[in-house]
A = this chain, B = another copy of it.
Amino acid sequence: MNYFSSNFTLGILGGGQLGKMMLYETRKYDICTKVIDPNPAAPARLACDKFVVGDLMDYDTVVNFGQDVDILTFEIESVNIEALEYLEQKGKLVYPSASTLKKIQNKGDQKEFYLKKEIPTAPFTRYQSKDELVTDWAQKKKTFPFIWKSCTGGYDGKGVAVIKNKEDLIPLPDVPCIAEEMIHFKNELAVIVARNANGEVKTYPVVEMEFHPEANQVEYVICPARIADEVAQNARAVAHKVSESFEHVGLLAVELFQTQDDQILVNEVAPRPHNSGHYSIEASFTNQFEQHIRAVLNLPLGATESKVGGVMVNLVGEENYKGPVHYQNIEKIMQLPGVTPHIYGKKETRPFRKMGHVCIVNKDLNQARKIAEQVKQSIKVISLTK
């Protein structure tokens, strides 16, 4: 298949920042693209060959969109799976496949899949309703604390809650859910894995993640993670196994816990480029977006090693600001060496909204981490029309 400067068309479901960054790579390769997103002002509305406004959860919309592309991929997992299944039946290539996505989209299915495949993960119980969960608790089969996760619709800290007592149960919605044992982890880690249709697999170095205590969004991602070599090797091996078990084609972000006794547990996965891999744009020999494109087009995968140490800082909307976005002190952080801001192109800020990220690279990782702190302390995502 000739992808370059040809009539071949890659379809991308979702036009957010991940889609936007994917398009840097399709432009670099001159691969024709078609993007769909419900938002007419979506970040990926530019740089694709064709942009369509439409609902990704609507069967007919997705089927119509997919009919005249050659390969279909996505940048968000909340898409209509039945439409993807139909397109596959009609001979369309969908990567990751509908069956892989199905196993991932529902957190209950995802966890049961790990058990079946003997992939280490935190113990859990699955419930079809809130009633079932409350009954289990009343019968003392489930004790506090635990992590509650909605089986579907969870994203960026939504659909997840720490349940410490009876009162925490009250606001939970009545939806199918899982109750997961709370892991007192030493580190939260992630490994990006790429796999193409030929079955070639490459894992990226392990990254270390720090979450914002309130918003439950990643604040710093550090590559490589400052952990023992054998822990890193084990984490990459587990991630590799996850990708192969799912028969996943494309990029898979595997979020992991490192327990107090250095066991690796799979927390959850995202079947697409991921926030924890943004550092790769500046730090890696092949960035995660290029790697995703290589994987879904069944091209050889690129080297996953790092050129330099990398630290990623998310730019999220400051609390108490809502309105047209202003990046306060951006000029100040641009004076620091190895600092690259990425502005996603959302015109309005609101508290904790992901508006961009900053990557800090340095030959000395500790130096990068120090500069990242300066970045974090300087730049504020606010609105001047508060």
Binding site for B on A (CB under 8 A): 2, 4-5, 20, 23-24, 27-30, 43, 46-49, 285-286, 290, 294, 299-300, 302-303, 307-308, 325-327, 330-331, 334-335, 337-347, 361, 363
Residues of B within 8 A of A285 (CB): 337-338, 361
The docked-state distance in angstroms from the alpha carbon of A361 to that of B347 is 36
Complex formed: what's the CA distance from A339 to B43 in Å?
Answer: 28
Partner of A337, one of B46, B303, B347: B303
A23 to B341, CA, bound (A): 15
Docked CA distance A308–B307 (Å)? 7
**Considering the chains assembled together, what is the distance between the CA atoms of A24 and B47 in angstroms?**
9
A334 to B294, CA, bound (A): 9
Give Cα A48 to B49, complex, Å.
Answer: 12
Given contacts A4-B330, A285-B337, A300-B331, 5 further A-B contacts (CB under 8 A): A4-B327, A30-B343, A46-B47, A300-B334, A308-B308
Q: Select which of B28, B49, B300, B341 is within 8 A of A29 by beta carbon.
A: B341
| Distance to closest chain B CB from A275 (angstroms) | 16
A347 — nearest CB in chain B belongs to which residue? B5
| B residues near A4, Cβ cutoff 8 Å | 325, 327, 330, 341, 343
* Centre residue among A307, A338, A346 by max chain B CB count within 10 A: A307
Name which residue of chain B comes closest to A384, CB basis.
Answer: B2
Which B-chain residue is minimally distant from A344 (CB atoms)?
A: B30
Determine whether the beta carbon of A5 is less than 8 Å from that of B337: no
Chain B residue numbers with a CB within 8 Å of A20 are 27
